Structure 1
Amino acid sequence: MRAALLALCALQLCPAALGGPGRPQVLVERSGARKLRKVGGFSWENCGDGKDPVVLQSLSVAPDPITIPGSLRISAAVTSAKALTSPLKAVVVVEKELGELWIQLPCIDQLGSCTYSDVCTILDNLIPPGMTCPEPLLTYGIPCHCPFKAGSYSLPASDFPLPDIELPSWMTNGNYRFRAAVSNNGEELACVKLAFSLQAQ
């Protein structure tokens, strides 16, 4: 499920939450911002060395393309061979295809190729400690706070409504790829690559 959460962030569904403490949990109108209308061509793969304790076993995102606003159906399965504790560092690299080249996008306003020092803190900002995990996580026994126990987590196909989403002006139409590596005290725990195309207006 952690990888599924990263996938959602990659699709720009939770950029405000990644801003950390004090950042509003809504998408603010930006100068030159455009509305995301479609996300298509979604694919994924694990990118660790085969020894990472956390492995994304499956991830399905439908429909293809995803129309926004609209509805998104996600199913995912993750296995973890060890408990995951704070701090969970996430290094995210986002690249855009330009002709035959892939150009790495900078980190601007906590979007793009950014390093997040502790995903656990981000989760606590999204869902304050003590609050019940939201559906459908609650129904399927998927935790939403650190530490995460070792074991298997599975999210059956679940529907999520998608509101209007604003993209920053520098995130233009085209093909993107996204790599997220999660580590704890220098030990890589998981690595996932995603690819998708964006269409905005």
Structure 2
Amino acid sequence: MNSKIKADLTSTACYSSESEDTEKQSNGFSWTDCSYAHDPVKFKHISVQPDPIELPGSLSFEGSTYLSRPISSMTAEITLYKKALLWWKIPCLNSFPCSFDLCELVGHDSSCTFSSGYLHSSKRSYYFSRPPISSYLLKGYYSATITLKSQGKQVGCAYVYFNIDG
């Protein structure tokens, strides 16, 4: 889906410090930085393997961002959508929480500070079980809006698009 259309559907403006075509692609997986001009976090690289995602199974993540200033106590809020003629919002579940404390995710206490400059997350793998739904409902094209927040305010944003082949 065109990032400008997606931006209109989610009522979130997209900003990029790069050229107008900011979508990065790897087969079915792609991403776009949707941070506002004043947001201190800009996504520079995101990769996910395997592509398409297979559930159950291991999923590897890797990425890098640029922080224009130090940021403390950052969280990631995820809004997930599935395409079935239209984009449908998927509710948060125990098996898929919608908010993550990034300090805890990287092994620090919840009051950690991320320094300014480039921040690289080396490849990490996580095992995901298969949700208790039919393969027919699970398979398909998904999008997620990842909003990074610090002290309740947005500091960065990324749209991620991927396929699940359950």
Could you state the TM-score of these two structures normalised by the residue count of structure 2? 0.65
CA distances 1:30-62 after superposition (whole Å, capped 9, x unpaired):
xxxxxxxxxx61100111222210111122445
CA RMSD of aligned residues (A): 3.2
Paired AA for residue 156 in structure 2: A
Q: How does 1:54-73 map to 2 (within 5 A)?
A: 54-62=41-49, 64-65=51-52, 69=57, 72=60
Paired AA for residue 131 in structure 2: P
Paired AA for residue 54 in structure 1: V
* Unaligned 5+ runs, structure 1: 1-39, 130-144
Partner of residue 94, structure 2: 109
* Unaligned 5+ runs, structure 2: 1-26
Partner of residue 141, structure 2: 175
Give, in angstroms, the shift of residue 182 of structure 1.
Answer: 1.3
1:119 aligns with 2:101: yes
- After superposing on structure 2, the runs of 4+ consecutive aligned residues of structure 1 that deviate more than 6 Å are none
SS of the equivalent of 1:122 reads: helix
CA distances 1:64-99 after superposition (whole Å, capped 9, x unpaired):
446675785x6533110111112x343211000112
Q: How does 1:115-194 map to 2 (within 5 A)?
A: 116=99, 119-120=101-102, 122-123=104-105, 127=107, 146-154=112-120, 158=123, 165-170=128-133, 172-194=138-160
SS of the equivalent of 1:111 reads: coil
- What percentage of aligned pairs have identical amino acids? 24
1:49 aligns with 2:20: no
The 1-side partners of 2:59 and 2:146 are apart by 25
Q: Which structure ranks higher in relative contact order (CA pairs < 8 Å, sequence separation ≥ 6)?
A: 1
Partner of residue 32, structure 1: none
The structure with more strand, counted as a fraction of residues:
2
Could you state the TM-score of these two structures normalised by the residue count of structure 1? 0.55
Residue correspondences, number: 136
The 2-side partners of 1:98 and 1:42 are apart by 18
